[in-house]
Every structure is written in C-alpha cells, then in structure tokens.
A and B are shown apart, each in its own frame.
Chain A
Amino acid sequence: MITGFLITVFSTAAAALVGLFPSWTPPDWLDTAVTTLGQAVGDITMLSGWVPVRAVGTVVAFMLAASGVALAVRVSRIVLSLFTGGGGSAA
C-alpha cells in the first residue's frame, strides 16, 4: 500500500514533468528514409559472399550504441556540471 502510493505519486509527478517537454511530430521523409535504409541493408546483404556482412552489421550496431552511450554520458556531465556538487566541463 505504501509502496504503491509512493509509486503512484512519483510516477504522476514524473509524467507531469516529462509532459513539460514540447511535442514533436516526425516528418514524413523519416519513414521514407527508414524504408530506403531497409532496402539498402537488403542490398548490402547480397554482398555477404564477399563482405563479412554479419560482422559489419554487428560492429555498426555496436558503434551506434556506443555513440548513444557517449552522448548520454556527455549530456549527464553537462547537467551535473550545473550543480555545485558536480563540476567540470563536458567538453
């Protein structure tokens, strides 16, 4: 009961906080780009006899994930630097 109440309160507050962010509708061309990307990936698959496509796919996915993590780390450092307890530059 107590935990449930706290979860409800915090989730409501968090949802209200998140709701302060502006909304955004992705442009139509993004869907087209994703479709084109899928077709390109399919074409690349055709090269699997000559190119280690699976390795490339794994590494590209890893690189994108690493870039995402790096971006998250930088943003976190920037945010933390705004507080007196934190510090340093994210640059």
Chain B
Amino acid sequence: MHDLRLTAREVVAPSRRFARFGALFGATLVAFLACFVVQTQDEAYALAKPPTVSTLPATLANVAEGAGEVVAVGAAGVGVVAAAPVEIPAATVALATAGGVALVMNVGSTLKYAWSLRPGQDKTYADPPGASLPQQNYPGGLSIAVGSSFGACPSSTGYGTSYSCAVVSMSNANWATTGTITATGYGTNAGGKFGANAVTGCGGGTCAYSNFSSAHPSGYFVSTSASNGKSVDAYEALKNSGTICVASNGALSSYQGTGDPCVASPVPATSTTAGTAPGGTTQTTTPQSTCSGSGGTVVGSPVSFTANDTTLPDLVLPACPAGTVRTGYAFPTTTSSGTVTPPFQPYTEPVVPSGFPQCQTPGGCQLNLYRVGHGTGAQTVSCSGTGACVDWVNQTRRSGTAVQVQRVSDGTQVSETPLTWPDGSTQECWWGPYRVEVMECTTVPTEPTPTPAAPAGTPDPTADDRSCFPHGFGMLNPLEWVYKPVKCALVWAFVPDPAVLNAASARLSTAWNGTALGTVSTAIGKVYAPIVSLKDAPTLDCDGPAFVIPKLPAMTAPVTLHPLSTCNELTQYMLGIYLPLASAAVYVGGFFAGTRRILSAFGAANPDGDDT
C-alpha cells in the first residue's frame, strides 16, 4: 500500500499545476466573454442608431409598405444619382417609424430629397417632411397613389415631368374578386411602367374592357376614384384572361410587393362589363366519360353558359358503371358555329375508384378481414382482435367455387378461389360493403407456401456436428467412435441451454429491479444519460441561438439578436486557437481528477490534502 501511495502522489502531483492552468483558462474565458459583450453591444448599437444608406442601389430595392421601412431609390438614368451616400433625415425616419414608407432620392448630382408616404393618404402627406423644396424637383414618384387625376405620370402637372410610375408595393391583389387594392409607387422617367394608358380613360366607376385594348398587355389596374386624387389607392382589378401581373409591362422586377405578382385567371375570361368582352356567345358542353371493360362511353348532362357569366357551372364527369373505372373524358362543346368534339383525354382515378360508390368519401370504408361460417351457428367473425384467424395463412387453403371480387387498387373484377379453413369456414376481405381480394387485407402472403423440402440425398450441413455417432466414411475411423459420443456427452452435460440462461438472467433482473438498489441504479442511469449526451452535442451554425425582443412601442419591428454569434472573422480566428486549447485542458484536467478520485478510493494519499 505504501508503494501505491507513492505512485499515486507521483500521478496526482500535476493536479496543482493544472489548477493554475485552470486559472489561466478561466482568465482567458473571461477575456473572451468581454469580447463577446463588446460585440453584443456593437450589434445593439447598430440596431439602435439611425439607418444610413451607405450606397444607393442600382435599382429599386427594399421598398415595402409598412412601418419603419426606410428605403433608398436609385435608378440609373432617371435623375437619381447613385453616387454619394445618403443619410436619411431624422424627420423622415420619425415619419417612417410612425407608419409610412420613406423614399430617399438623390436628384441631380447634388440635391438630396426625402419624403415619405403614409399608406392610405394622399399627396399632402407625401410632401417631404418640413421641406421647402420646390415641387418641380420632386421625382413625381407618388402620382400612382393619387388616383386618376395624377395617374398619368408623364404629364402630371406640378409633380415633375417625364416621370412614369412604377409600383413599389401592392397588397390585396386578387383576381378572384373586385376588391380594393392598396398601391404605393414611385416615378421614374424610364418609361413604360404603369403608364398613362393603364390609368387614364377611367375617370370613375368601372372601366370597360375596351378601355385597355392599347394598354399593357399583361395586366391592368383601374382607378375607380372619381375625384382628382384625394382617394389614394382605390384600384380595381379587372378580371382578364391569361395571366395578370400587378406590375405591368413585363417589368416584374419593379414589383416589390409580397408574393407572386402574377396570378392565373380562369378561362374563359370574364369581364366586369357584360357584353363588351369577347367570348359572350352561349355554349353547351356535355361531359363524357369512357369507362374500362364493358363500361363504354357514358354521356353526362349538358351544361349551357356564356363567357360573360359571373360564375361558371361545374362540369361534372358522369360516373362509370359499378365494377368499371373511368379511363378517359372529354367535353364536346356546341356553339352557334357548330360542335367541337375534342379527343378523349386519359383519366386516372384520383383516390377511390368509381367502382366503390359507397366508399367515395375518404376514410368512409375500412378494410376488414373476416372468417365466415366459423364455429357455432356458422358465425361471421372479424379477425381483428378476436383470435379467430390466428395463423390463418398456414391454416387455409384455396378450395371451393371461385367467386368474383373487386380489386381496391383499380376497381376491376377478379376471380378468387376462397381461402377455406379445415372446418369449412372461409376467409374474406371486405372494404365497407364490397368484398375485395383477400390480398387487400394483408401484406402477408395469402397463398400458404410450404417450407420447401430438401431434395432427397442432400446432406444436412449441420448434421455432422450434431450427430453423436460417426457416419459415412467416419465409421471407418475408430477415433470417431470415441470422439463423437464423448463430445455429445460433454455438450449435453456442460453447455447450458440458451433458454436456461435467459431464464436465469430474467430472474435476476426482475429481482434486482424490484429492490431499492435496482431502482437507485436505474435512477442514476436516467440522470447520467443527458450528461453523457453532451459529448454528442451537435455542431451549431455560427449564429448561435436567437433571442427575439418583441416589438415595443418605440420599435418598428421585433428585433432578433444572436448574442452568441461566432460569425465574426476575428472571433472565428480566436476561437480556432482557444477551443482546442480549452478542450485539451478540460480533457487533461478531467483525466487527472478522475484518476485521483479512483486512486483515493484505494487509499492513495491526496497531495492536495483533499481526500475526495
């Protein structure tokens, strides 16, 4: 024991030095924490200080209607110079914070203007905050938002010249209804964006389709405002055929709203003005289905409508006869010009074949396996949970007269010889009120397959090991007559049956788990498990966890902080040095601490005077 003490002292002696190393490690950690705090403060300051546009974008960007969105606009060649940095005036920031859209432009090479728009208000509120700037220098950006009077951007009096409009944000754009769309925009002299034809000619009310014959080909917005622009943003979407894009003229890059600016319109087209849109003739369509097998072609009820109808009737394909499925369909249409019969299109049953009309509701029918004619009174017993069908795969045989059943997958009729039990009962699969193939009720083989018998004369590869007496040529070997029986006897005597081992293990385990010791050890294992899981901790991205500060009255939006971010290059560099060193220190320190703990249990002296 004395030697052991000496050895232990020699082993644990470095622990003091590692304690000093631990202090150094702690100091390093504190330094890094300080860096972390400074970095967090920088991030917080960056969030709090007034926004500054350091570089003007080449195109309109980051423009959105809503509170606090501060944007910069710089479009090449439109008098907006993207040269010098632009700092947004505090008043503009305040207004934007209060709920407006702020636009910052550099007009010419020196002038710097800013103004903002509060959604839903007119040009009065679009004036630059507190500015005494001449109006003619305004880029005319908001004329789209002031109704038809100012809709013709290029000729908008007093709001700049040669400026057309472009949509910067759009909400509630919806082809399905004729509701109100809220739009804000700005003007450029690039031309073609939301031009005059789209906005003029509709002084009020609902515009006829013909008013847009020369307008942008892909989408229109119609002002329903009758006055000269005091109603800012009432626009009506005209239903149109094909695709409608809220940012017209194909210049979809100017659309800064949310979602897809283009939506598909139903065909045939409808117009808000009856009788003026194309496609107003009456047509009659008769849906038809082609069915499998002997189903033939089924003709449905004819439906008449015009393209000007507000709502189109549903075209319902006729159902196929029971036992058949729809394989094709067509919509022959008759107009005053004659009948057009398009070729039949292939049809794939979506979910439930039409051969099961009572199971068309998803989940309405359940598959069930039954044993019919079983037991007293020839009962029909469900195999589910009754035990009546245990091992039926091995018990039943195909016998009796074939019956017609359906196949769930495609509804076709198939012939099936019943699976019959020795007592004469049969195995049947039903889907709701329909008898279907037994295969549909189970994934196990429905045909009992006997274990293939080994061909006569095939030697059993294991027979030699299990036999206790020699055979074949071994009978000629005298040693085999001793070795084999002795081996058999020893195996019988000393090789335990696996069942005995399992039983003994289960016996001990049950007894142990019922005691306090077993319970405590289980509890310790539960506590130990999450701690051990630390060594398998996943590698997180450099952002680290996010802390969201909810939106407060003085804030424009919730703020998400990543105080544990390590994305900074300097931080990455320092952590690249620090983490390996820290890991090494932890491993070495842990090794010595654990070793000391074990050795102290053997009685080794602790050089630190601590006997734990």
Q: How far is the CA of A44 from the CA of B544 in the complex (A)?
A: 12
Chain A residues near B603 (CB-CB < 8 A): 88
| A83 interfacial by beta-carbon distance below 8 Å | no
Chain B residues near A73 (CB-CB < 8 A): 598, 601-602
Chain A residues near B539 (CB-CB < 8 A): 48
A70 touches B598 (CB 8 A): yes
- With both chains docked as a complex, state the minimum distance between the C-beta of A72 and any C-beta of chain B, in angstroms: 8
| A86 interfacial by beta-carbon distance below 8 Å | no
B530 contacts which of A16, A18, A41, A59 (Cβ < 8 Å)?
A41
A21 contacts which of B515, B566, B593, B598 (Cβ < 8 Å)?
B515
**Residue in B closest to A16 when the chains form the complex, CB atoms:** B511
> Contact string, A1-42, partner B, CB cutoff 8 A, digits 1/0?
111100110111011101101111110001101100110010
Q: How far is the CA of A31 from the CA of B507 in the complex (A)?
A: 27
Chain A residues near B342 (CB-CB < 8 A): none
A56 contacts which of B1, B517, B524, B586 (Cβ < 8 Å)?
B586
A58 contacts which of B504, B526, B535 (Cβ < 8 Å)?
B535
A18 contacts which of B508, B564, B579, B602 (Cβ < 8 Å)?
B508
Number of interface residues of A (CB under 8 A): 59
Chain A residues near B305 (CB-CB < 8 A): none
| B510 interfacial by beta-carbon distance below 8 Å | yes
Q: What secondary structure prevails in chain A residues at the interface with B?
A: helix
| A79 interfacial by beta-carbon distance below 8 Å | no
Q: How far is the CA of A67 from the CA of B593 in the complex (A)?
A: 10
Q: How far is the CA of A16 from the CA of B508 in the complex (A)?
A: 9
A55 touches B493 (CB 8 A): no
Chain A residues near B591 (CB-CB < 8 A): 59, 62
Given A52-B579, A59-B586: A70 in contact with B508 (beta carbons within 8 A): no
Chain A residues near B62 (CB-CB < 8 A): none
B601 touches A70 (CB 8 A): yes
Chain A residues near B456 (CB-CB < 8 A): none
User: Which of B48-56, B418-426, B494-502 contacts its partner?
Assistant: B494-502
| B519 interfacial by beta-carbon distance below 8 Å | yes
Given A46-B540, A59-B589: A54 in contact with B535 (beta carbons within 8 A): yes
Chain B residues near A50 (CB-CB < 8 A): 32, 36, 564, 566, 575
Chain B residues near A65 (CB-CB < 8 A): 594
A66 touches B594 (CB 8 A): yes
**Residue in A closest to B584 when the chains form the complex, CB atoms:** A55
A49 contacts which of B533, B575, B593 (Cβ < 8 Å)?
B575
> Contact string, B525-556, partner A, CB cutoff 8 A, digits 1/0?
01110111111111110101100000000000
**Residue in A closest to B539 when the chains form the complex, CB atoms:** A48
B510 touches A15 (CB 8 A): yes
- With both chains docked as a complex, state the minimum distance between the C-beta of A53 and any C-beta of chain B, in angstroms: 5
A58 touches B597 (CB 8 A): no
Q: How far is the CA of A48 from the CA of B544 in the complex (A)?
A: 9
| B587 interfacial by beta-carbon distance below 8 Å | yes
B504 touches A46 (CB 8 A): no
Chain A residues near B587 (CB-CB < 8 A): 55, 58-59
Given A47-B564, A63-B597: A56 in contact with B510 (beta carbons within 8 A): no
Given A56-B534, A57-B533, A70-B600: A49 in contact with B594 (beta carbons within 8 A): no
B534 touches A60 (CB 8 A): yes
Chain A residues near B544 (CB-CB < 8 A): 46, 49
Given A21-B516, A52-B586, A54-B535: A61 in contact with B496 (beta carbons within 8 A): no
Given A18-B515, A46-B545, A50-B564: A57 in contact with B590 (beta carbons within 8 A): no
A4 contacts which of B497, B510, B531, B534 (Cβ < 8 Å)?
B497
Given A3-B495, A45-B538: A61 in contact with B589 (beta carbons within 8 A): no
Chain B residues near A57 (CB-CB < 8 A): 531-537
> Contact string, B265-306, partner A, CB cutoff 8 A, digits 1/0?
000000000000000000000000000000000000000000
Q: How far is the CA of A49 from the CA of B578 in the complex (A)?
A: 11
| B4 interfacial by beta-carbon distance below 8 Å | no
Chain B residues near A10 (CB-CB < 8 A): 504
Q: How far is the CA of A22 from the CA of B350 in the complex (A)?
A: 64
| A71 interfacial by beta-carbon distance below 8 Å | yes
| A69 interfacial by beta-carbon distance below 8 Å | yes
Given A18-B515, A55-B583: A24 in contact with B520 (beta carbons within 8 A): yes
| B347 interfacial by beta-carbon distance below 8 Å | no
Q: How far is the CA of A62 from the CA of B595 in the complex (A)?
A: 10
A61 contacts which of B520, B528, B583 (Cβ < 8 Å)?
B528
| B46 interfacial by beta-carbon distance below 8 Å | no
Q: How far is the CA of A11 from the CA of B512 in the complex (A)?
A: 11
B534 touches A53 (CB 8 A): yes
Chain A residues near B598 (CB-CB < 8 A): 66, 69-70, 73
- With both chains docked as a complex, state the minimum distance between the C-beta of A27 and any C-beta of chain B, in angstroms: 10
Given A57-B533, A60-B534, A63-B597: A51 in contact with B504 (beta carbons within 8 A): no
**Residue in B closest to A42 when the chains form the complex, CB atoms:** B530
B590 touches A59 (CB 8 A): yes
> Contact string, B562-593, partner A, CB cutoff 8 A, digits 1/0?
00111000000001000100110011011101
- 8 A-B pairs within 8 Å (CB atoms) are namely A4-B500, A11-B504, A12-B507, A14-B511, A18-B512, A55-B587, A57-B535, A59-B586
Shortest 9 CB-CB contacts between residues of A and residues of B: A57-B534, A59-B590, A24-B516, A66-B594, A11-B504, A70-B601, A15-B511, A21-B515, A73-B601
Q: Name A residues whose Cβ lies closer than 8 Å to a Cβ of B.
A: 1-4, 7-8, 10-12, 14-16, 18-19, 21-26, 30-31, 33-34, 37-38, 41, 44-71, 73-74, 77, 88
